[in-house]
Structure 1
Amino acid sequence: MRTELRSLRGHNAGAMIRRLNPIIRGWAAYYRTQASSQTFKKLDQYLWALTYRWALLSHRNKSRPWVFARYFGKFNRSRQDRWVFGDRHSGAYLHRFAWTAIVRHQMVRHRASPDDPELADYWAWRRRTAPLPINTTSLRRLHAQHGRCHICKGLLHADTDRPQLPHHWERWLATNPAAITTIATWDASTDEAKHRLIHADCLTRSSDTPLPAPTATRTRSSRMR
């Protein structure tokens, strides 16, 4: 992290957030089955100190209260943390390690090898049931839709695409969630709006054709995070 921040001197807060978030989320996703919540808290404290120092060096002629007011605040509205580093212009903010839920590792069946073709279903089941490091709302919708797109019915996240290493998680979190979006559909039976996950490409392709029932009277695009 220190090396990344040094390389980002002279850049704005938005550029730093775009660079660091995939790294933070990737490493947190990889170690969430092994690390403790206290470890994640210590990493957040270390990262906060690094970002604070970056902000001070970026504005040498400004006071500390000015730096705090410009870069730190309650950017994540779903949490009560007032010390989140963020960009006032875009509203983007730096993810925290502690926001990634700890998921206890499920022991592998005795002598079960991923290279054994007879156990392909077993390993596919393990990948499928492991929760993805996305927000709770999106994860709940994903389960409700059995992991499939509301429009094309294809898998939203293929089991074979699950990353295996920290830098693989970095790339996955930098690109994969952006390929999924949310639409608001109107359910005539309940007279209520419901939100469903679809492929971003499906939304583009369906712009000239009606969406499947329930009929969508309006759409809202949002990324899975």
Structure 2
Amino acid sequence: MGKHKTGRNSKGKPLGFKTIIKPSRKAVQTHYQKLKGIIDSHKAAPQEGLIQHLNPVIRGWCNYYSTVVSKETFSQMDDFLYWKLARWGRKRHLNKTGKWVARKYWQKVDNRKWVFATRSEANPMQLRTHAETPIVRHAKVKGEASPYDKNCKYWSTRMGKQPGISKRVARLLKKQKGKCAHCGRTFYEEDVMEIDQCDSFPVKPLESTWILRHKQELGKNPFGVTKTTRYRWRCKSAPRGVSRESISPIEETGYQIGEAGIKGG
């Protein structure tokens, strides 16, 4: 390995090599044979039916290998799948040219070209590609954390579910990576949380508008304003990107941000 990064053993000693986990050749061949079988069994089926059968297989296989070094393998599978679909289209239209077949079955969707999709302008059904699956590395468990140490916030952030915490709170913890949506600080075991709306409260609450933040508390002003009245603050610090001067405390109701347009309450 020389000056490049190398793997280390449990004692920190360099090994001279680095282990890279990739999808095996057998797994790639098995997956390709499965895609090939689906395409061959849908020679006379419409394009929508073929896409409906291919997408679940591609999604499941990519999600399984999304935590290892598989980006290059995903791109290769997309190349193999393209040529197989090209043959599928040519066999369906023996009297047409390859250019005509390409225009019929491959479209331009948004900024993406050569998308195997239907010609519907409103909501075209498109084939999922392997390469669009994001690679998410497996995060090691922090320190001596254990599912039995009653640290529900940490395990909810990590897993998206945890006994003792509602499903909605657990999903928001995982979505926000364990941080407050208002001040950006990490939730700790002793912190009290509450669910709020990120924008003005809609007529019908939507899950996409929910955020998790520190619960309002009664106490002294955390910014050092010396007054005898009590103040209620949503977080222990100012929101990200907001200066202390732009915040004016409101007795018993929280705070408001002048130009930012955010109000406590």
Letter in 1 for 2:36: R
Cα deviations across residues 49-100 of structure 1 (Å, max 9, x unaligned)?
A: 111111111212211111010111212x2xx321111111461110111111
Q: Which residue of 2 aligns with 1:215?
A: none
Deviation of 1:120 (Å): 10
SS in 1 for 2:84: helix
Letter in 1 for 2:206: R
Question: Do the aligned partners of residues 7 and 197 (structure 1) sit closer, same or farther apart at CA in structure 2, a change above 3 Å counting?
Answer: farther
Q: Which residue of 1 aligns with 2:119?
A: 88
Q: Which residue of 1 aligns with 2:139?
A: 106
Question: Do the aligned partners of residues 37 and 93 (structure 1) sit closer, same or farther apart at CA in structure 2, a change above 3 Å counting?
Answer: same
Q: Which residue of 1 aligns with 2:215?
A: none
Question: Which structure has greater helix proportion?
Answer: 1
Matches within 5 A, 1:1-225: 1-75=35-109, 77=110, 80-89=111-120, 91-108=124-141, 125-128=157-160, 148=168, 187=200, 196-197=206-207
Question: Do the aligned partners of residues 147 and 72 (structure 1) sit closer, same or farther apart at CA in structure 2, a change above 3 Å counting?
Answer: farther
Question: Do the aligned partners of residues 53 and 119 (structure 1) sit closer, same or farther apart at CA in structure 2, a change above 3 Å counting?
Answer: farther
2-side partners of 1:155 and 1:125: how far apart? 7
Deviation of 1:112 (Å): 9.0
Relative contact order, CA 8 A, sep 6+: which one is greater? 1
Mapped contact 1:112–1:119 kept (Cα < 8 A) = no
2-side partners of 1:53 and 1:91: how far apart? 22
Structure 2 gap segments, 5+ residues each? 1-34, 175-198, 209-265
Aligned pairs, number: 142
Cα deviations across residues 170-193 of structure 1 (Å, max 9, x unaligned)?
A: xxxxxxxxxxxxxxxx9479xxx9
Deviation of 1:117 (Å): 6.5
Question: Do the aligned partners of residues 29 and 52 (structure 1) sit closer, same or farther apart at CA in structure 2, a change above 3 Å counting?
Answer: same
Mapped contact 1:43–1:97 kept (Cα < 8 A) = yes
Identity across matched positions, percent: 32
SS in 2 for 1:105: coil
Q: Which residue of 2 aligns with 1:218?
A: none
Mapped contact 1:14–1:87 kept (Cα < 8 A) = yes
**Which deviates more, 95-104 or 117-126?**
117-126
Letter in 2 for 1:98: A
Larger Rg: 2
- What RMSD in Å do the two structures reach over aligned CA positions? 3.9
Cα deviations across residues 126-149 of structure 1 (Å, max 9, x unaligned)?
A: 3218xxxxxxxxxxxxxxxx973x
1-side partners of 2:138 and 2:158: how far apart? 11
Question: Do the aligned partners of residues 188 and 124 (structure 1) sit closer, same or farther apart at CA in structure 2, a change above 3 Å counting?
Answer: closer
**Which deviates more, 63-72 or 104-113?**
104-113
Letter in 2 for 1:100: T
1-side partners of 2:108 and 2:78: how far apart? 15
Deviation of 1:156 (Å): 7.3
Question: Do the aligned partners of residues 85 and 109 (structure 1) sit closer, same or farther apart at CA in structure 2, a change above 3 Å counting?
Answer: same
Question: Do the aligned partners of residues 187 and 70 (structure 1) sit closer, same or farther apart at CA in structure 2, a change above 3 Å counting?
Answer: same
Letter in 1 for 2:116: F
Deviation of 1:123 (Å): 6.1
Question: Do the aligned partners of residues 19 and 119 (structure 1) sit closer, same or farther apart at CA in structure 2, a change above 3 Å counting?
Answer: farther
SS in 1 for 2:207: strand
TM-score by length of 1: 0.51
